[in-house]
Amino acid sequence: MSAPTPLIAGNWKMNGLSASLDEARTIAEGAKGVAGRVAICPPAILTYQMSQLLKGAGVLVGGQDAHWEDFGAFTGDISAQMLADAGASLVILGHSERRAGYHETDEVVAKKTLAALRAGLEPIVCVGESLEERKAGRALEVVTGQVRGSLPAELAGKPFAVAYEPVWAIGTGLTPSTPEIEEVHRAVRTTLLDLFGDHGAAVPILYGGSVKPSNAEEILHAAEVGGALVGGASLKAADFLGIVKAL
Ligand code: 13P
């Protein structure tokens, strides 16, 4: 089984207006020829415009969340079908900001993952421990438990990615040491192999949490790191390209 193709995805979170599409254009121009896949996950309302803008440019567009149902009476929600219809090909699911702020459990994330598959979207399923859990020596247990609980068996043979994002590293400027990242990524890989057999070897395991141009090279070349999920540093083309070019 060949090594996973690396993926670098920018998660714009609740940032960006239509004027920010210029940034996406610059990212697409600068990312030509890089050694992996590049994606931008803008706020959902920009999905269609960004997909149109980036058509054929080699940069994928993704959602940041999706409902577990395809359609229905869920005021304010957006389904995976809608994201796909607007041109997305990926979707981030189970981000810690959703797990913490909207009470998303592993079961909810697994249901959302099934919805993404029905819509033909590639899910990027996020996992990660809190600082308290790390301090208590429970990081591996928490993360592998989230992997088992959030990834439905139906993912077998389908393209998907896992993103390891320690909650305490998100937006803080703090990152785990490289051996700490490798320890968690190896545990995720072992769990993926257990769940999906050989296919588990082809799943990219992204690292996320305060990735920036100055630490990207070391993180991206750590064992079992198959790319990055980037928040703050994906908002400015120069910073994001500094990370993408470290592949
Ligand atoms: P930062 O890169 O801003 O730490 O955010 C990481 C993240 O949450 C990506 O999903």
For residues 174 and 167, is the Cβ–Cβ distance under 8 A? no
Residue 33 domain flag = yes
Give the distance (Å) from ligand 1 centre to CA of residue 85: 26
Domain of residue 162, residue span: 7-244
**Is 230 near ligand 1, meaning CB less than 6 Å away?**
yes
136 occurs within a structural domain: yes
- Give the residues of the chain that fall short of pLDDT 70: 1-2
CA separation for the pair 45, 30 (Å, rounded)? 24
CATH of the domain at 217: 3.20.20.70
pLDDT in tens, 201-215: 999 999 999 999 999
pLDDT the model gives residue 2:
63
Domains identified in the chain, total number: 1
Give the model's pLDDT for residue 119: 98
Kindly state whether residue 90 falls inside one of the protein's structural domains: yes
* 2 within a domain of the structure (yes/no): no
Q: Best mutation site among 211, 236, 239, 243 for ligand 1, i.e. most ligand atoms within 8 A of its Cβ?
A: 211
What is the distance between the alpha carbons of residues 135 and 155, in angstroms, rounded to a whole number?
Answer: 32
Q: What angle do CA 211, 217, 221 make, to 5 degrees?
A: 105
Q: Nearest CA to 29 among 237, 243, 247? A: 237
In a domain, 60, yes or no: yes
Give the single-character DSSP code of 234. G
R_g over Cα of the chain: 17
Q: What is the pTM of this model?
A: 0.98
Residue at 1 is within a domain: no
Q: Which atom of ligand 1 is nearest to the CA of 172?
A: 4
User: What's the pLDDT tens digit per position in 18-74?
Assistant: 999 999 999 999 999 999 999 999 999 999 999 999 999 999 999 999 999 999 999
Active site residues: 95, 165
Any ligand 1 atom below 6 A from CB of 165: yes
**pLDDT number for residue 3:** 79
